[in-house]
Chains A and B, each alone.
Chain A
Amino acid sequence: MKKIITLIGFALLMSSCSNDGDTKNITISFENKIAGDRINLGTGNYQNTSNESYSIDELKYIISNIQLVKENGEVFTYPQDNSYFLINESEPESQIIVLNNVPAQDFQTLKFGIGIDQTNYPLNGVDNFVPTAEENQMLWSWSAGYIFFKIEGDFSIENESHQDNFLFHIGSHGTNLDNYKTVELSATQFDLDLTRKDLIAIETDISKLFNAVHDIRINDKSDIQVDPVNAPKIAENASQMFSLKPTHSTN
């Protein structure tokens, strides 16, 4: 009798483990690079395709709404409430995010958003991201809105010694201007087989911010914030920065 109860209890426990099979905690790392090297805040000097050189003092962005998709189309959505992350170049810990209880399966695509999806704002727990965003100055206090992507630094035009500041703060404000972007990374070159590994490495090529879909000449507008013309261009470029990198499998 006792044995049966234990067995039933056991079966119940098993079924309470949502998916078919195991789950595991996985890690996603973000490396912000330019020309293959980690960027150096303050000291690194970089060139864009518009003959400008620039340095970066601050670089932060919000990653959200993480999903993993299998080849057969099955989607695993990471719990909405916990699916907001702030990547801050000056804080190495922030560049490694841990997802708990992810099905240990072979996935085909990784999807995520840059910023906060308007349909979720401020619902589904996104308000609970306010303290993190606030500590990192990723809130527009006057508009109750999030800054999705922030980069600040200095730039100069080629052959000119004069340096100036630049500052891009990209987000959505009001309901008219939506700069939320989604990214899809497919396991073509490198797999997303979570039966074999528990680390996904992502490289963020910051130089693409200045030339991917649009060419951005910093000197044309060096302060871009609430800007219905330029902010969407930066956001589109930002959505092109991410790529998967090889990682070793654990078994």
Chain B
Amino acid sequence: MVEFEDVAVDYGAGDLLAEVSLALSPGSFHFLTGPSGAGKTSLLRLISAEIAPTRGRVRLFGEDPAGMDRDGIARLRRRIGLVHQDCQFLDHLTLAENVALPLLAAGHDPAAASQDIAALLGWVGLARQADALPPTLSGGERQRTAIARAVIMDPDLILADEPTGNIDWDMSLRLMTLFVELNRQGKTAVVATHDLALIRAVKAQTQARVLRIAGGRVALAGADL
């Protein structure tokens, strides 16, 4: 699903990441952890082809984004559901319209999918807010909206960057449960977080593995977490 071959990232101040080789198999669940500034976001951005590796090769769904034009990358993105710490929405559109946006961008008719949209909003517990505007939402509601938007296209891969960044513990667990459910449905998931307690709480529910970034290298964490 995702393969890195000896990947390095250098923003100009020396290697941030180096010698990163990994393979995420379909249906796997990975946490990505490490101190602030370690490069978690950068690794996710490599996977979603927002940045290109300075050296080495990234393969996504068996394809190399480096050789693609912008439309090709847009096509790849439709197979990825992205959830950011501070998710951006189109503030003049309702929640339901925001969730439907990826469909619209892919050339589908959102009206034909209104039942799916309603079902998704119900799944994340926002059925009542379908017609609300994003600026009126709480942090947890925003994150849940972002998850609904991330999965409306039924992507193969879910990437979440600190999805529980400024959200209380109970809501964080609830969000994590959504990712676990998606993974159980067969979706590959990568969730970046520096919250080790959260990882410990969720790890038991899934076959999740933990990738730890330290000193510019990425390694699988053992039982020491």
Partners in one complex: no
